[in-house]
C-alpha cells in the first residue's frame, strides 16, 4: 500500500505559543535575563532577585522602576505587546531591551506568572495573575511600593521534558548568578541583590557604584587589582568601546568574557577568538583572562532581530571593529607587560612575594561591606565633601593605577605609573588614607578585639610619664590626671563605639580599636599616646570638629608604622596592605603635589636609553 501525503493542519494556538515560549525561555536564567532587561528599561535603581530550587519552584524579581500602568495590565502578557515599537522601521533604531513584547508572554505560557506593580501616579499597587498569555481573574488593588514585582512559579510545569532536561538546582542557580553578575557589572548605577530564598545574599551591589568596584566585588579582589582600562572612540566606524581586561600578571583556568553591545549581553565568537589569540602570547598554556567590554554602535548598523533570545547580534563592519579592538587590547597588554617586567626585576632577594591568601582576604573583606549603613549626618557629609573637593584628579589617576616597586626605607617607597617612577612618603599617604577611610566608612567600621582588654588608666599613666607628651608636675599628679582621662573617655564611649568601632567599657577597659585598613594592625607601642590624645585633643563639644579631630588623631596613630615593627612585617604591610588600599581608595589632596609627598624621580624610557648607551 502506497503511503499517502500527510494532511497539513494549522496548529492549535496554545501549541504555537508554547513552541515560541520554548525558543525564548530555555531555562530559568533566560527568563530572568528578560525580566532584568525590562526592569532596566523601566529606569530601576534597585533590582532584587529571590530564587527557590534554582528558579524552577519560584523566581521573583522586584524593582523600583516606573511600573506598569493599570490599564495595560490586561494585555501585558499577550504576545507582541510592547511600549518600544510602533512600526517596523523602529527596529532600525531600537535602543532598549524588550522590544518584541514576547518575554512576559513566553513566561506565562510555561509558568504561573503574577505581577504586582505601582506607578508614581497610582494611589495603590495592583496585582494580576496570568496563564497562557491571558489575564487570569481580575486585577486587584493592593499595597505596594513604586515599581514592579514579578513572581514566576513552577517554571515548565506544563512542559515536563524541558523541565527534566535541566541541570541540578545549584547549577541552574549558578547560571542565574552569571546573568545577575553580568548586568550588575554593566549597570553600576543600579543596585542588584541575588539570593536563594531564606538565605543570605549571594550577590549585593550598591546603586551609584562603578564598573571597577562591581567587578572586584563580584569576581574577586585579585581580578580587581589586575584590571587595565580599554577605551576606543572611532567616528569612522561609529564605534565606542569601554572595558576592563586583566593584565599579564593574572590568569584563570577558565576565562570570563562579559560582552555587551549597545548594553545587551551577547556573545561574539569572532571577537573572543581574536582576543584569545593575543593573550596566548602572554599567558601560560591552558589559562585565560577576565574581560569586560562594552561596545556602542550606531543602532542603524546593528540587527538585534536575529535570535529569539537576542544573545546573537549582527552588525556592519564587524571585521574592522574586531581589528580595532584587538589593537587596543594589544596596546594595553604591552604597557602592562612593561610594568610587569620592571616589577619582577625590582623584587630583590629576600623580599616577600605576594601571598596567595591576599586575594581571598580582599574578597572576604569586600563581603563584609555589603550591608552598608549610610549616614545622613550633615557634619560627616561636609567633611567628606571637603575631601572630595580637595582631591587632585591627576594625582588620583597616578595612585589608582600605581604599581608598587619597593620600600626604600622606613618612610619612603617607590611606585610606578605608566612609564614614570615616583618617590612617595608612606607615612603621609597612610595618615591621609586612614583619615578618609574613617570618614567614608563612618558607622561601618569593623573592630580589632583586644584580649585581654587594656586598662585605660594604665595607658594614660604610661603616656603621661613619656616626656615627649609634655606632662610636668605643675599639671598635677599623674594618678589624678589618668583618672580624669578615664572619666572623659568612658563618657564618650557610646559615640566611639557606634561610629568608629572603638569600645571602652564602663569599667574603663579598652576592648577594641577600629579596622581602618584591611590586613594592617597599628602598633601597640603608640597606643598609650593615642588614648591620651583622644581625651585631650579631640573637640568633643562640637559635632563636626569632634568627628574631624577624632579621625585625625586616629589616623595619626595608625600611620605610626615605621619605627616599632620588625623589618619583614613592616615591608609586607606596606606592600600588601597600605599601598593596595591607597591605590583603591585614596583621594589625594592637591597639596601632595607641592609638598614632596609624591616626587617623580625617573622616566623609564629615558632610563632605558641610558642603559642602551652603557
DSSP summary character for residue 232: E
| Higher-pLDDT residue of 546, 285 | 546
What H or E segment, with its residue span, contains residue 358?
Answer: helix 356-368
Instruction: Measure the CA–CA gap between 555 and 489, rounded to whole angstroms.
Output: 18
pLDDT at 10 over 50: yes
Instruction: Measure the CA–CA gap between 394 and 402, rounded to whole angstroms.
Output: 12
pLDDT at 365 over 50: no
- The DSSP code sequence of 478-501 is HHHHHHHHHHHHHHTHHHHHHHH-
Instruction: Measure the CA–CA gap between 107 and 34, rounded to whole angstroms.
Output: 10
Mapping DSSP onto H, E and C, the string for 202-219 reads EEECCCCCCHHHHHHHHH
Least confident of 325-334, 364-373, 564-573: 364-373
Cα atoms in the Cβ-side hemisphere of radius 13 Å centred on 69: 5
- What's the whole-number mean pLDDT along residues 354-383? 55
> Would you call 332 exposed, middle or buried from its count of C-beta atoms within 10 A (0-12, 13-18, 19+)?
buried
- What's the whole-number mean pLDDT along residues 246-264? 92
Instruction: Measure the CA–CA gap between 244 and 200, rounded to whole angstroms.
Output: 29
pLDDT at position 304, please?
59
DSSP summary character for residue 475: G
Instruction: Measure the CA–CA gap between 406 and 410, rounded to whole angstroms.
Output: 11
pLDDT, tens digit, 9 for 90 and up, residues 86-96:
444 444 444 54
Give the distance from CA 565 to its chain's centroid.
33
Helices (H), 136-227: 160-165, 169-186, 211-219, 221-225
pLDDT at position 306, please?
52
pLDDT at position 158, please?
87
Please answer whether residues 190 and 45 qualify as being in contact, where contact means their C-beta atoms are separated by less than 8 angstroms: yes
pLDDT at 201 over 80: yes
Cα 116–Cα 118–Cα 119 angle in degrees, nearest 5: 150
pTM (global) more than 0.75: no
pLDDT at 354 over 90: no
- Compute the residue count for the chain: 614
% the chain with pLDDT above 90: 58
> Would you call 471 exposed, middle or buried from its count of C-beta atoms within 10 A (0-12, 13-18, 19+)?
middle
Amino acid at each position: 500500500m502506497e503511503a499517502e501525503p500527510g494532511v497539513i493542519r494549522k496548529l492549535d494556538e496554545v501549541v504555537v505559543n508554547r513552541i515560541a515560549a520554548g525558543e525564548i525561555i530555555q531555562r530559568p536564567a533566560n527568563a530572568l535575563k528578560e525580566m532584568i532587561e525590562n526592569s532596566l528599561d523601566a529606569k530601576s535603581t534597585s533590582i532584587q532577585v529571590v530564587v527557590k530550587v534554582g528558579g524552577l519552584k519560584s523566581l521573583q524579581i522586584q524593582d523600583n522602576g516606573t511600573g506598569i500602568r493599570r490599564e495595560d495590565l490586561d494585555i501585558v502578557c499577550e504576545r507582541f505587546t510592547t511600549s518600544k515599537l510602533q512600526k517596523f522601521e523602529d527596529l532600525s533604531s531600537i535602543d532598549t531591551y524588550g522590544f518584541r513584547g514576547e518575554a512576559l508572554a513566553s513566561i506565562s505560557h510555561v509558568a504561573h506568572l503574577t505581577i504586582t506593580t505601582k506607578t508614581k501616579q497610582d494611589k495603590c499597587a495592583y496585582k494580576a495573575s496570568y496563564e497562557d498569555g491571558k489575564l487570569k481573574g481580575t486585577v486587584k488593588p493592593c499595597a505596594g511600593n513604586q515599581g514592579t514585582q514579578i513572581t514566576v512559579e513552577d517554571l515548565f510545569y506544563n512542559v515536563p521534558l524541558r523541565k527534566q532536561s535541566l541541570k541540578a538546582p545549584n547549577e541552574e542557580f549558578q547560571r542565574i548568578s552569571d546573568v545577575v553578575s553580568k548586568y550588575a557589572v554593566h549597570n553600576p548605577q543600579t543596585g542588584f541583590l541575588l539570593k536563594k530564598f531564606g538565605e543570605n545574599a549571594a550577590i549585593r551591589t550598591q546603586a551609584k557604584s562603578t564598573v571597577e568596584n562591581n567587578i572586584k566585588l563580584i569576581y574577586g579582589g585579585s581580578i580587581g587589582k589586575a584590571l587595565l582600562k580599554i577605551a576606543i572612540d572611532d567616528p569612522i566606524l561609529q564605534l565606542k568601546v569601554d572595558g576592563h581586561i586583566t593584565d599579564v600578571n593574572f590568569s584563570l583556568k577558565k576565562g570570563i568574557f562579559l560582552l555587551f553591545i549597545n548594553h545587551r549581553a551577547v556573545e561574539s565568537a569572532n571577537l573572543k577568538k581574536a582576543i584569545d589569540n593575543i593573550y596566548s602570547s602572554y599567558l601560560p598554556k591552558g589559562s585565560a583572562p577576565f574581560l569586560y567590554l562594552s561596545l556602542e554602535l550606531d543602532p542603524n548598523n546593528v540587527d538585534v532581530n536575529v535570535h529569539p533570545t537576542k544573545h546573537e547580534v549582527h552588525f556592519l563592519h564587524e571585521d574592522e571593529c574586531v581589528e580595532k579592538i584587538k589593537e587596543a587590547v594589544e596596546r594595553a597588554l604591552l604597557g602592562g607587560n612593561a610594568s610587569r617586567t620592571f616589577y619582577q626585576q625590582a623584587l630583590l632577594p629576600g623580599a616577600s612575594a605576594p601571598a596567595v591568601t591576599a586575594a581571598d582576604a580582599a574578597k572576604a573583606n569586600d563581603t563584609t561591606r555589603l550591608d552598608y549603613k549610610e549616614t545622613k549626618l550633615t557634619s560627616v557629609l561636609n567633611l567628606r565633601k571637603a575631601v572630595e573637593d580637595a582631591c587632585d584628579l591627576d594625582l588620583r589617576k597616578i595612585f589608582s593605577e600605581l604599581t608598587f616597586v619597593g620600600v626604600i626605607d622606613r618612610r619612603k617607597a617607590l611606585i610606578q605609573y605608566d612609564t614614570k617612577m615616583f618617590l612617595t612618603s608612606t607615612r603621609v599617604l597612610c595618615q591621609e588614607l586612614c583619615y578618609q577611610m574613617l570618614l567614608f566608612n563612618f558607622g561601618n567600621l569593623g573592630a580589632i578585639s583586644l584580649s585581654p582588654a587594656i586598662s585605660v588608666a594604665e595607658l594614660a599613666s604610661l603616656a603621661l610619664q613619656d616626656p615627649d607628651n609634655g606632662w610636668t608636675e605643675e599639671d598635677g599628679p599623674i594618678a589624678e590626671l589618668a583618672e580624669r582621662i578615664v572619666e572623659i573617655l568612658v563618657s564618650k564611649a557610646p559615640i566611639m563605639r557606634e561610629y568608629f568601632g572603638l569600645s571602652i567599657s564602663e569599667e574603663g577597659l579598652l576592648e577594641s580599636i577600629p579596622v581602618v585598613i584591611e590586613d594592617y594592625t597599628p602598633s601597640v607601642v603608640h597606643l598609650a599616646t593615642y588614648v591620651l590624645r583622644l581625651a585631650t585633643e579631640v573637640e568633643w563639644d562640637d559635632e563636626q570638629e569632634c568627628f574631624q579631630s577624632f579621625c585625625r588623631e586616629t589616623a595619626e596613630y595608625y600611620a605610626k608604622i615605621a619605627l616599632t615593627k620588625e623589618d619583614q612585617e613592616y615591608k609586607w604591610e606596606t606592600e600588601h596592605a597600605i599601598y593596595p588600599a591607597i591605590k583603591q581608595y585614596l583621594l589625594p589632596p592637591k597639596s601632595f603635589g607641592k609638598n614632596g609627598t609624591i616626587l617623580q624621580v625617573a622616566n623609564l624610557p629615558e632610563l632605558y636609553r641610558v642603559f642602551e648607551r652603557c
